[in-house]
Amino acid sequence: MNQITVLRDDARAWIDQVRSADVIVGIPSYKNAATISHVVQVAGEGLDKYFPDAKAAIVNSDGGSPDGTRDVVRNTPVPAGVHVLATEYQGLAGKGSAFRAIFEIAAALGAKACVVVDSDLRSITPVWIDRLGGPILREGFGYIAPLYIRHKHDGTITNNITYPMTRMLYGLDVRQPIGGDFGFSGEIARWWLTQQVWETDVARYGIDIWMTTTAIAEGFRVGQAGLGLKVHDAKDPASSLGPMFSQVVGTLFSLMRRYADLWLSVRSVQPVPLVGELPQGEPESVPVTVSVTIAKLRDGLWSNSRSLDKILSAEQYRAVGDIAATDEESFAFPAETWARVVFDFALAYKNEVLPADQIMAAMVPLYYGRTAGLVKEASGMNAEEFERHVVQTQVEIFLKLKPELVAQWDE
C-alpha cells in the first residue's frame, strides 16, 4: 500500500473501521455548505440503486471550510450500508490535494472503482454515479470523463484550450477533459499516488487536466459518460478565472514536455466510447461581461509587454495588438490567431524563455481576449449551434495548424 501522507487521524481511524470498499464517491469541497447536501444525497441514492451488492462509501475531502461544509455532509441522510466520511485533507491548499486524499483512501480501502463529483453541482442525478462508476467496475475501463452540455459562457477554459489541445495533441476526442466529474479505477489511483507532482499546480486546479492527460498517455481505456446538462455555481469568466487558467494551462504545457514523444507522432483523432445517451437540452445561462474581458485584454497586453515580446512571434504580437485596438461593437478574436498564440506560449514554456509563472501571467489577458471573441461569435446561438459553429470549428482549426507546432517544437 502507498504511504499515507495527506490524511488526518480521523480519516485513518475511519479507514481502520471500514477496512474495505468496492466503490467510493469522492467529493472535494471548499465552502460549499449551501450545495453539498444535494450532491451527497444523490451520490447515496446512486450507490444504493446501481451498486446494491457493492460495499460503498462517500468521502468528502474538504479544504478546511469555515462554513460548516463537513457538518452538512455528516448530517445528510444516506441509505443504510453506505459509509460516509467528511474529513479535512493536509498539504497544499487546493482541489488536487483534496483528490490526493481521496486517492489515498481509495488505495487504503482497496476500492475497485472511484467516482468524483463536484460539490456545487445542481444538475447531478443518481444515474451519474452509474455512468461514471459502472464502466470501471463492470467493463474494464480505466477512466471515464463526463460528457455534458454546459451553457455557452460556462467552460471557457475547456472550449478555448483544454478541449482543442487535448484532442489535437493526443488524438482522442475527449470533450470535457477538465469537467471535474470522473470515474476511474483503483489501479490508476494508485499510479497517480506514485507521481511526484503534489507540490505543483496539480495540487490545485491542475488536477483535472493532469488526470485526463495521464490516463490517455499511459494507455488506460478511456470512455465518456453521457450526463445530460451541467448546472453548477458557474463563475463569470470575466471576473474570476485567471488563477484557474494559469494552473490548468501551466499543467497542460508541462505535460506536453513529458509526453512529447507521444503527441508529436499523433496525426488523427479517434472517437471516445460513449456510455449512456448523447446529452441534449439548453442549460440555464451564465452571465458574462464582455466589456470587462476586453478591458482585461487591453490592460494585460500593456502591463505584460516585456514578457509578450519574448513569447509571441512578431506576427502574432501584431495581430493581438490590432485585435485589442478594435471597439467592443466590432470586436473579434479569430480562432486561427488564438491557436497560434497558444502554440507560441507552449513553445515559450518548453524553451523556458521566462519563468513559468511569468509566461502564464502574460497568457491570461489573451485568454480573456479570446473569451470575448468567443462570446461575440456565440451571440444569439443556442447550445447546439454554439457547439457546431464555434467549438467544433475551433477544434478543427487547432488540428489543421498542428504541423506548425510540430515543426517548431524541436527547433
Ligand X SMILES: Nc1nc2c(ncn2[C@@H]2O[C@H](COP(=O)(O)OP(=O)(O)OP(=O)(O)O)[C@@H](O)[C@H]2O)c(=O)[nH]1
Interface residues toward Mg ion, by CB under 5 A: 120, 232
For the sheet containing 82-88, what is the strand order? 82-88, 56-62, 23-29, 113-116, 182-185, 143-149, 222-229, 274-275
Which cell goes with 210? 493532469
Angle at 71 between CA 208 and CA 13, to 5 degrees: 80
8 A C-beta contact, residue 210 and residue 309 = no
Q: What track of x and - describes contact with ligand X for positions 75 through 114 (by CB under 6 A)?
A: ------------------xxx--x----------------
Q: Which does 79 bind (CB under 5 to 8 A by kind): ligand X, Mg ion, none?
A: none
CA distances (Å), origin 113, targets 24, 132, 186, 214: 7, 9, 6, 17
Choice from 6, 11, 30, 337 touching ligand X (CB under 6 A) = 30
- Residues numbered 164-193 forming contacts with ligand X, rule: CB under 6 A: 180
| C-alpha pair distances (Å), 410 with each of 261, 279, 329, 355, 405 | 11, 40, 41, 20, 9
What is the DSSP secondary structure assignment for residue 28, as one 8-state letter? E
Picked from ligand X, Mg ion, none, the partner binding residue 151 (CB below 5 to 8 A depending on kind) is: none
Q: Answer with the entry of Mg ion, ligand X, none that 343 interacts with (C-beta below 5 to 8 A by kind).
A: none
> Which residues face 87 on adjacent strands?
61
Taking CB atoms, the residue at the shortest distance from ligand X is 63
Instruction: Mark residues 274-313: x for contact with ligand X by CB under 6 A, - for none.
Output: ----------------------------------------
CB of 63 to ligand X, least distance (A): 3
Residue 94 binds which entry of ligand X, Mg ion, none, with Cβ cut-offs from 5 to 8 Å by kind? ligand X
Instruction: Report d(CA 30, CA 33) in Å as an integer.
Output: 9
**Residues 6+ positions from 380 with CB-CB distance below 8 Å:** none
**DSSP of 246-290:** HHHHHHHHHHHHHTHHHHTT--S-B---EESPPP-S-PPP----H
Site mask for ligand X (CB under 6 A), range 34-63, x = bound: ---------------------------xxx
Measured from the CB atom, is 231 or 341 closer to Mg ion?
A: 231
Kindly write out the interface string for residues 126-155 of this chain, putting x where it contacts ligand X by CB under 6 A and - elsewhere.
Answer: ----------------------------x-
Query: Which residues pair with residue 225 across a beta bridge?
Result: 146, 275
Contact 139, 130 (CB under 8 A): no
26 binds ligand X (CB under 6 A): no
Give me the least distance between CB of 177 and ligand X, in Å please. 12
Considering only 46, 104, 105, 120, the residue that binds ligand X (CB under 6 A) is: 120
**Residue ranges that bind ligand X, judged by CB under 6 A:** 28-30, 32, 61-63, 93-95, 98, 118-120, 154, 180, 232, 234-235, 241, 244
